[in-house]
């Protein structure tokens, strides 16, 4: 195929990249230990740190073949580091950051190149149209503008701009990288070489979890919310109003988007980008409107109310939470 070294460096997840590495006959332990590849190791660390910090990996200048080689080798190394941290959160964040990086570059490519990359992911793209089954597989259809009814379709093919096709490819890349990382078992050598970074990331992620958990008291949630969380975690199909109630409640008690995402991440059909979009819409982070937690009367009409004794004294899930919290704090003070 017509990928040159510069293209492989920009899109290191393509099959051609694997072939190139194989042809070079360079073993992984060389890339890990040889001083010649120090730059590749540093760039791998940078990739992971940028994914963690900014949610996207910035491009690095590629001026010659050596730059390209270092960039290509940094990609598998970064993946091995991420897999070694053993954090679902980091895997998802890194996969999305790599996919966004690719999207930013793809937008600048001509249509024949975009078509080739799309084919790598099994998408049938030709002359600015894509088969609707591929469209539905990768389009962010939770966004109105991507709904099929808002698209021009002819004989089963949807018309798209280059940028829009690149957006579908972004989703395909994210999904590929994420799935590969979930099942990756890095060699112990990775921990020896990148041990400090891996330990730091692990600590950071654990510290984040503890900090959040301290501010929120799950045991004080009202029964309707506990039931919804249980249903989401056990993979049950929770109706839209149930998800809405859960997100508004968690947001009102100070949970971050990441906290809420974590709950939904247990659901089998979890799609991080889609869920993030929905959460940020409901919590006003992208819509500008913060939706209020529904009252008990409304939750009751949806069939989601499962009252206990304390519920007799409240008409709103937030009152329940505050009341129970206060009660528990008072009983703790008495013990002390």
- Run of H or E residues at 289: none
Positions in 270-299 near ligand SF4 (CB under 6 A): 296, 299
Least Cβ distance, residue 242 to ligand SF4 (angstroms) = 11
Least Cβ distance, residue 47 to ligand SF4 (angstroms) = 45
Minimum CB distance to ligand SF4 smaller for 82 or for 224: 224
Give CA–CA dist 24/3, Å, rounded. 16
Residue of the chain from 76, 186, 242, 317 that contacts ligand SF4 (CB under 6 A): 317
Q: Contact letters (x/-) for ligand SF4, 294-313, by CB under 6 A?
A: --x--x-----xxx---x--
Give CA–CA dist 9/65, Å, rounded. 10
Least Cβ distance, residue 214 to ligand SF4 (angstroms) = 24
Closest of 137, 9, 130 to residue 75, by C-alpha:
9
Least Cβ distance, residue 258 to ligand SF4 (angstroms) = 25
Residue 57 CA from chain centroid, whole number: 14
Kindly give the interhelix angle for 38-54 and 88-106, rounded to the nearest 10 degrees.
100
Positions in 179-238 near ligand SF4 (CB under 6 A): 222-224
- Run of H or E residues at 195: helix 189-215
Least Cβ distance, residue 326 to ligand SF4 (angstroms) = 15
Minimum CB distance to ligand SF4 smaller for 166 or for 229: 229
Give residue for tokens 């659901």: 267
Minimum CB distance to ligand SF4 smaller for 191 or for 298: 298
Closest of 272, 274, 313, 320 to residue 294, by C-alpha:
320
Q: Does 242 bind ligand SF4 (CB under 6 A)?
A: no
User: Listing from the earlier edge strand, what are the strands of the sheet with 157-159?
Assistant: 125-126, 129-131, 157-159, 153-154
Least Cβ distance, residue 304 to ligand SF4 (angstroms) = 7
* 237: exposed, middle or buried (Cβ count in 10 Å: 0-12, 13-18, 19+): exposed
**Pairing relation of β-strands 153-154 and 157-159?**
antiparallel
CA-only gyration radius of the chain, Å: 24
Closest of 6, 47, 15 to residue 117, by C-alpha:
15
Least Cβ distance, residue 256 to ligand SF4 (angstroms) = 23
| Cβ–Cβ < 8 Å for 54, 97 | yes
Least Cβ distance, residue 246 to ligand SF4 (angstroms) = 11
Minimum CB distance to ligand SF4 smaller for 151 or for 306: 306
Minimum CB distance to ligand SF4 smaller for 58 or for 327: 327
Minimum CB distance to ligand SF4 smaller for 136 or for 297: 297
In this structure, the number of other CB atoms found within 10 A of the CB of residue 177 comes to: 23
Minimum CB distance to ligand SF4 smaller for 45 or for 310: 310
Positions in 93-152 near ligand SF4 (CB under 6 A): none
Least Cβ distance, residue 324 to ligand SF4 (angstroms) = 10
- What is the size of the binding site for ligand SF4 (CB under 6 A)? 12
Minimum CB distance to ligand SF4 smaller for 186 or for 317: 317
Contacts with ligand SF4, residue ranges (CB under 6 A): 222-224, 296, 299, 305-307, 311, 314, 317, 320
């Amino acid at each position: 195929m017509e990928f040159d070294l510069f293209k492989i460096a920009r899109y290191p997840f393509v099959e051609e990249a694997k072939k190139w590495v194989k042809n070079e006959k360079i073993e992984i332990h060389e890339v890990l230990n040889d001083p010649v590849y120090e730059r590749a190791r540093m760039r791998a660390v940078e990739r992971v740190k940028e994914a963690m910090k900014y949610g996207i990996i910035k491009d690095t200048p590629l001026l010659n073949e050596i730059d390209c080689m270092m960039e290509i080798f940094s990609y598998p190394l970064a993946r091995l580091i991420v897999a070694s941290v053993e954090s679902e959160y980091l895997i998802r964040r890194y996969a999305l950051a790599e996919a966004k990086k690719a999207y930013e570059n793809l937008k600048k490519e001509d249509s024949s190149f975009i078509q080739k990359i799309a084919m790598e992911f099994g998408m049938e793209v030709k002359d600015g149209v894509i088969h609707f089954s591929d469209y539905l597989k990768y389009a962010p259809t939770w966004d109105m503008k991507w709904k099929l009814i808002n698209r021009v379709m002819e004989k089963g093919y949807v018309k798209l701009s280059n940028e829009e096709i690149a957006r579908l490819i972004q989703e395909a890349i994210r999904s590929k990288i994420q799935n590969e990382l979930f099942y990756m078992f890095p060699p112990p050598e990775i921990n020896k070489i990148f041990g400090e970074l891996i330990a730091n990331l692990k600590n950071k992620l654990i510290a984040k979890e503890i900090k959040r958990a301290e501010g929120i008291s799950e045991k004080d949630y009202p029964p309707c919310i506990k039931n919804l969380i249980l249903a989401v975690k056990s993979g049950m199909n929770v109706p839209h109003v149930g998800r809405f109630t859960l997100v508004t409640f968690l947001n009102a008690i100070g949970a971050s988007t990441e906290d809420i995402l974590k709950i939904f991440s247990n659901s089998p059909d979890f799609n991080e980008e889609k869920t993030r979009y929905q959460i940020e819409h409901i919590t006003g982070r992208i819509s500008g409107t913060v939706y209020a937690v529904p009252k008990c009367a409304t939750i009751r009409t949806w069939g989601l109310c499962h009252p206990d004794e304390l519920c007799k004294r409240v008409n709103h899930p937030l009152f329940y939470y505050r009341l129970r919290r206060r009660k528990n704090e008072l009983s703790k003070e008495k013990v002390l």
